[in-house]
Amino acid sequence: NAGVMQNPRHLVRRRGQEARLRCSPMKGHSHVYWYRQLPEEGLKFMVYLQKENIIDESGMPKERFSAEFPKEGPSILRIQQVVRGDSAAYFCASSLTGGEGYEQYFGPGTRLTVT
Amino acid sequence: GENVGLHLPTLSVQEGDNSIINCAYSNSASDYFIWYKQESGKGPQFIIDIRSNMDKRQGQRVTVLLNKTVKHLSLQIAATQPGDSAVYFCAEINQAGTALIFGKGTTLSVSS
């Protein structure tokens, strides 16, 4: 019974390159959430997706960041033209359904370093 | 606005002691809270949750207390063990029910 899977676990990119982070939710889960965590801080919500739909992207920066959750395959968080300030741990969570009362299970995270 | 925070950034206890980690929130309309544990290099792990219609909820060695009058949440860990060493976050669901809002965390250190 695999949990939420994220890859890669560590990603190094030079400024200006693109970063692609992948998240496979728990089996049977169709709700995916992306969070970003800066050092010594709590997690900050970025985006909430269901299959093929973005439900809430209020935490996503307006430029360079995008997310998708296709009908088949993992959810992808894409960061174009990365800058040093994008260096952080990015966590994906999934839930059986949305809304409160439904536990969000977190993956191990992808640690992005921009050089 | 929505804000969840913690009183102390660090807490050090001896093995076998009881630990109490506190959290203050500002949104009086919040009605669902969760405690997460995050070990170094890992993702947050669900510990326990509580709804606003409850004052107390118990799990295995953990108890969450909710005081809505002063908008305060606490996590009590009984007989703390070295394996409990981690960063603990309280979180609340946002008003739209679409995201968790995390506080900054308390680092619990347990010495043998």
Q: How confident is the model at residue B66 (pLDDT cuts 50, 70, 90)?
A: very high
Provide the residue-wise pLDDT of chain A in tens; the chain has 115 residues: 579 999 999 999 999 999 999 999 999 899 999 999 998 788 999 999 999 899 999 999 999 999 999 999 999 999 999 999 999 999 999 998 776 557 889 999 999 999 9
* Residue keyed to tokens 């102390």: B8
The residue that leads in pLDDT, B101 or B3, is B101
| Res B7: pLDDT | 62
| Residues of chain A contacting B46 with CB distance shorter than 8 Å | 103-105
Are the C-beta atoms of residues A19 and A112 closer than 8 Å to each other? yes
Statement: residue B4 has pLDDT above 50: yes
For the segment B38-54, the average pLDDT, to the nearest whole number, is 93
CA neighbor of B73 nearest in space, from B96, B50, B93: B50
| Res B99: pLDDT | 87
Q: Do A56 and B51 touch (CB under 8 A)?
A: no
Q: At A90, list the tokens.
A: 């990015």
Size of interface A-B (CB pairs under 8 A): 63
| Res B2: pLDDT | 42
- How far apart are alpha carbons B71 and A81 in whole angstroms? 42
